[in-house]
Structure 1
């Protein structure tokens, strides 16, 4: 078994003269060995000035097409309602981006090219696969490899892929605070030669959120060397380092750089929103604050993870938020990012004719570890054009008649508008123990 370290980013950042800033830009996660397109392009794009300057032509094209968001948020290639779905849900040609349903634009990483950064491997060998885990989630990793005869100049389709490995809740090297990762052994097919793609699908068990990584590999007898980044040469990965070495500490007096890559708001309810952003790339960053752009008030803070649930918001209120980086050694803060604007959901008016809508949950059937549930939404006397139901604590593996993500139920296109007294049903297969039947908040 070939054990290889996920220390590539540290080596490359040191080579280009960048002082590490608190922790690298990592949150939910992506495949780091074999390195995914979004991860290795982020590594390739680093420069001493902090600006993105990829030398790899495929990475440079992805930056031009999709913008910097996919770079600074390389860990955020996700679909909040993926729910383990593959063929028939994610169209051919968009597999690497997970169907283009996430908060950041990863569409350019679907391009069928032969010049992406490449990890060189030996067919039939066993490797330790590594997937970044800054924000730790339970779940399953499914590993696919393109079939023998795959043509890398054509769009990737599901018929090209063979599922070769699946692992649930693998061990990790640690939580937030370093280049930590989940790891498990994968034996690669012995009949592959030439260029191929390894597709890794991370299926969370505590949410419908899924993550996607395409890694370009060459089966040529290699031992994990990476080519196509930096000056176009090979980046050695031996000798192995386990656990990964922490980046060198930034000078305590360095001013924190402004977080990069854009701010997004998802999973919005009446009182809460999930905020994500790209990590800073210069100076000394020990944490981040989410601030009200109008007042400068700090609404939430993290110790280095570029995401947080902002709670205690007011229902039916429009917010304009930004993020600033902190250096807690000096008390300095960075300039704020560009803002993200969103409106929280209105509170339910309560059962009766004055409510915009009402919703009830019931368990249709249950079994060990799961159940089938239904949420029935009924419009009030005025009807409703678009509705939301708060369903905290519900996690699903399959949904029909709508979507369930981040504790919020939303309609499909065909049942978003309901006339007075009309009802619609969202069905799903839930994981864990079914909650008690009863009313839910609808607005």
Structure 2
């Protein structure tokens, strides 16, 4: 049964219990899954570059997660949304508590990407073996972890799968990983970055990050799919698209663009400093999750602030917040002309009548 992205409406507990007794078991399980829609109060961060499995799905499909094309274009994200869309809405909450540093003892093989099926299996779909969309990275790159609640970090432990491991056919185990780096602590800045050196490696791999938050004994377990180095890979869609476009477009564009571009382009690129839109992704009684899309004007911006009218913001990611104002993070403030970026937030109260206005910072 497909689980709805909408939470169970509040009602007398006694009536809900009677209803669950009367319906088939599969429906009762679906209702139980919907009851976890409200984001966890302690959920506050994840690796955003290279993106984790659920953050990548959220970025690519969060605003269009009912699109059936996902089943063929991004099948692993499709199965995750079908299993439970809250896996993506709560992309920043994949943690356990009171592990005491015994990561390998507590998290079983085959369950590394779900943190040992933490939080009643909310992230179980992330352990699914298959062709997850992977980001191509150079042999040396910077890993970025975004922590909206600014909990700080005692350390980051970064692993990569051993040469020859195929994540499209094999389940992730501790024995399939090499520990390549353990960082020191980070202050509560909300953005934790470290250089990753994979020299001598190439091809598909899983980057596995353990973030030990500082505010509690609360480690986060984060899987990012990557393709190391240059070269073609049949599973990596971004590298195939550019090679097809130039061969088809040049013969058509010169005859069409001179007459169409002057009238079309100015209406598509905002002339002001920036514009913003707000969209509610999910809601429950007393709260909701929303995205804000910021688009730079014709001159671009080096920083932005978005005022979300009607919102009481309790948590934000991809930005910092003060009251109902979102301010860009260090990594997404500079936007060229017409470029866009997305930030998200959790709001309390009703989600009706939200507005968004943008100004250059």
The TM-score bracket by the shorter chain reads: 0.5 to 0.7
Deviation at 1:162, TM superposition (A): 1.0
| Pair 61,259 (structure 1): closer, same or farther in 2 beyond 3 Å | closer
TM-score (norm 2): 0.56
Deviation at 1:232, TM superposition (A): 8.0
Deviation at 1:99, TM superposition (A): 0.9
Deviation at 1:90, TM superposition (A): 0.5
| In 2, Cα distance between equivalents of 1:214 and 1:93 | 12
1:36 touches 1:215 (CA, 8 Å); kept in 2? yes
5 Å-filtered alignment, 1:24-423, equals 28-47=44-63, 51-53=65-67, 54=70, 55-65=73-83, 67-102=84-119, 105-113=122-130, 115-122=131-138, 125-139=139-153, 140-152=155-167, 153-170=169-186, 181-190=191-200, 192-221=201-230, 227-228=236-237, 233=241, 248-250=274-276, 257-258=279-280, 260=282, 278-280=289-291, 285=308, 287-288=311-312, 306=345, 323-325=349-351
| In 1, Cα distance between equivalents of 2:346 and 2:100 | 21
Deviation at 1:182, TM superposition (A): 1.9
TM-score (norm 1): 0.46
The CA deviation string for residues 202-241 of structure 1, in whole angstroms up to 9 with x for no partner, is 0012201221211111234269xx9447x9847xxxxxxx
Deviation at 1:193, TM superposition (A): 3.3
**Match of residue 21 from structure 1:** none
Deviation at 1:196, TM superposition (A): 1.1
Deviation at 1:134, TM superposition (A): 1.5
The CA deviation string for residues 395-417 of structure 1, in whole angstroms up to 9 with x for no partner, is xxxxxxxxxxxxxxxxxxxxxxx
| In 1, Cα distance between equivalents of 2:213 and 2:107 | 17
| In 2, Cα distance between equivalents of 1:109 and 1:56 | 14
| In 1, Cα distance between equivalents of 2:230 and 2:240 | 20
| In 2, Cα distance between equivalents of 1:217 and 1:30 | 16
Partner secondary structure for residue 107 of structure 2: coil
| In 2, Cα distance between equivalents of 1:227 and 1:261 | 34
| In 2, Cα distance between equivalents of 1:182 and 1:222 | 29
Partner secondary structure for residue 142 of structure 1: strand
Deviation at 1:87, TM superposition (A): 0.9
Partner secondary structure for residue 165 of structure 2: coil
**Match of residue 28 from structure 2:** none
Deviation at 1:106, TM superposition (A): 1.1
The CA deviation string for residues 327-378 of structure 1, in whole angstroms up to 9 with x for no partner, is 6869xxxxxxxxxxxxxxxxxxxxxxxxxxxxxxxxxxxxxxxxxxxxxxxx
Question: What is the total number of aligned residue pairs between the two structures?
Answer: 240
| In 2, Cα distance between equivalents of 1:281 and 1:137 | 23
Deviation at 1:147, TM superposition (A): 1.1
| In 1, Cα distance between equivalents of 2:192 and 2:325 | 21
Segments of 5+ residues of structure 2 without an aligned counterpart are: 1-42, 243-272, 295-306, 315-322, 327-343, 357-361
Segments of 5+ residues of structure 1 without an aligned counterpart are: 1-26, 176-180, 235-246, 264-274, 291-300, 309-321, 331-443
| Pair 93,329 (structure 1): closer, same or farther in 2 beyond 3 Å | closer
Deviation at 1:57, TM superposition (A): 0.9
1:171 touches 1:184 (CA, 8 Å); kept in 2? no
Larger radius of gyration: 1
Superposition RMSD on alpha carbons, in Å? 3.9
